[in-house]
């Protein structure tokens, strides 16, 4: 790259209003252009943070175009009209071609279909439509693949894209639904994995076709080496989940701890704490891998969890500590039980925390910005209870009847998730001789209550 310093400018809404040729080319290759939002997720997040804090920010930037990885140093200077962008030390590295051949020709998209690219966290960095395809949904830049496309499980309850993400391999036959000009469309995704020159997985590049136009996928029972077609009742299913998840989670923890420990250089204290929270959450999730590996036990009649002596107040505060940053990003305040409030109960420590993380995560996801979530402890007779309540849109009586069913997401398409969280949470509650209930009404938020045997 010949430019020593690449300059650009965004307005207060985050739209690129001016830029040197190199920045404009990168913006266009990501599917956007001039007077449109920044299409590079990393750069867009830094620009938004600088504007929100109203302070200059300098950070390393890693991005990608169609042919190379881009490493640079970006400096963002906010002002009353937006922000100035300066990118220096711009270096490119060719992307190594994947060793696994693509399952479909991603570049040769059908005239009625779309081509897309995402990073290693499934965030879209490019989305292009064929000549005869409906217009692409506005505001896709940086959104998760599962936000733009509602993922559908196959006949065995598997999600091809998630399995391939864990194995860093190609996939086809991932059925999705998406909004189109004529309503909901059934589509099929296929993609090949992408790697950089060092062999590091960088994301997927693939196609999206109307379901009637897509080729029939090869049955997963034959071609899926990680999960195969094993039923949940087969103990090998748990061992294979363990193998697929443990490696990626370990890498997340190691990276977060490197950032938190500031081994690569000093960073702001709140960023270091944020990375520490990520590492903490990763370690918790790694501990849950064993639980996921034993998921088939939950499906068997008579499954029982361990009977630990726990404090629902302590577990509620732990859940808030793990998800507090996520709430702060939306301006949501969590009213947690004070440190001196306890509610002794009997249940398996790790599984109760898993249930509370699910309830609190859902409350954050479905709550409006600048709202309140409160967590209350109570006891009625021999039952100890913890309630998580939000100020979201609420759930009507008909939806309450199905909210705990498998894959039920109440028609939501904008929040990701598989629809299994509440199903697993209720099964775990009942396995601990407890119950999980919901009390809600449209426009009045939702209140989920976990009750367990009380302990004197």
**CA gap 156, 146 in Å, rounded:** 19
Identical topology for domains 114-218 and 304-453: no
**CA gap 180, 450 in Å, rounded:** 39
Output the CATH code of domain 5-94. Answer: 3.30.450.20
Phi, psi of 144 (to 5 degrees): -70, 150
Q: Parse the chain into domains and list their residue ranges.
A: 5-94, 114-218, 235-297, 304-453
Highest mean pLDDT pick, 129-133, 288-292, 372-376: 372-376
Query: Which of residues 445 and 133 earns the better pLDDT score?
Result: 445
Share of the chain above pLDDT 70, in %: 71
CATH topology of domain 114-218: Beta-Lactamase (3.30.450)
State the residue for tokens 């306890």.
342
Question: Per-residue confidence at 270, pLDDT binned at 50, 70, 90?
Answer: confident
Output the CATH code of domain 304-453. Answer: 3.30.565.10
Q: Note the pLDDT tens digit of each residue in 293-329.
A: 555 667 666 677 888 999 999 999 999 988 888 899 8
Concatenated DSSP letters of 21-47: HHHHHHHHHTT--TTEE---HHHHHHH
Q: Note the pLDDT tens digit of each residue in 67-119.
A: 556 677 788 999 989 999 998 877 665 544 433 333 333 344 567 678 888 88
Query: Which of residues 292 and 62 earns the better pLDDT score?
Result: 62
pTM of the predicted protein model: 0.43
Concatenated DSSP letters of 305-348: ---EEEEHHHHHHHHHHHHHHHHHHTT-EEEPPPTT---EEEE-
């Amino acid at each position: 790259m010949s430019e020593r310093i690449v300059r650009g400018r965004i307005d207060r809404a985050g739209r690129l209003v001016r830029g040197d040729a190199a920045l404009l080319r990168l913006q266009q290759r990501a599917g956007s252009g001039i007077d449109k939002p920044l299409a590079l997720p990393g750069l867009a997040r830094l620009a938004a943070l600088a504007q929100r804090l109203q302070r200059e920010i300098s950070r390393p930037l890693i991005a990608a175009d169609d042919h190379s990885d881009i490493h640079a140093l970006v400096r963002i200077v906010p002002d009353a009209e937006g922000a100035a962008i300066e990118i220096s030390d711009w270096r490119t590295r060719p992307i190594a071609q994947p060793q696994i051949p693509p399952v479909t020709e991603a570049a040769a998209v059908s005239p009625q279909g779309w081509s897309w690219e995402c990073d290693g966290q499934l965030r879209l960095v490019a989305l292009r439509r064929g000549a005869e395809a409906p217009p692409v949904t506005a505001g896709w830049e940086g959104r998760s693949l599962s936000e733009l496309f509602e993922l559908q499980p196959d006949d065995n309850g598997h999600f091809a894209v998630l399995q391939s993400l864990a194995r860093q391999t190609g996939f086809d036959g991932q059925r999705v639904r998406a909004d189109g000009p004529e309503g909901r469309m059934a589509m099929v995704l296929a993609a090949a994995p992408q790697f950089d020159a060092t062999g590091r997985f960088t994301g997927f590049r693939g196609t999206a076709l109307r379901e009637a136009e897509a080729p029939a996928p090869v049955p997963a029972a034959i071609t899926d080496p990680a999960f195969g077609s094993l039923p949940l009742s087969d103990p090998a299913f748990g061992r294979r989940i363990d193998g697929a998840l443990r490696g990626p989670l370990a890498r997340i923890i190691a990276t977060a701890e490197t950032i938190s420990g500031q081994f690569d250089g000093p960073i702001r204290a709140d960023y270091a704490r944020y990375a520490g929270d990520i590492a903490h959450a990763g370690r918790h999730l790694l501990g849950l891998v064993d639980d996921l590996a034993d998921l088939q036990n939950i499906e068997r009649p008579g499954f029982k969890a361990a009977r630990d002596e726990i404090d629902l107040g302590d577990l509620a505060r732990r859940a808030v500590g793990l998800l507090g940053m996520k709430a702060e990003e939306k301006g949501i305040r969590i009213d947690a039980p004070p440190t001196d409030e306890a509610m002794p109960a009997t249940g398996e420590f790790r599984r109760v925390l898993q249930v509370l993380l699910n309830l609190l995560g859902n409350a954050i996801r479905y709550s409006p910005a600048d709202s309140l979530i409160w967590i209350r402890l109570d006891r009625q007779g021999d039952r100890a209870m913890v309630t998580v309540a939000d100020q979201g849109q609420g759930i009507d009586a008909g939806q309450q009847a199905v909210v705990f069913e498998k894959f039920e997401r109440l028609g939501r398409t904008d929040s990701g998730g598989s629809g299994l969280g509440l199903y697993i949470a209720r099964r775990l509650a009942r396995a601990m001789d407890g119950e999980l209930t919901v009390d809600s009404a449209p426009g009045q938020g939702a209140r989920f209550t976990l009750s367990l045997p009380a302990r004197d």
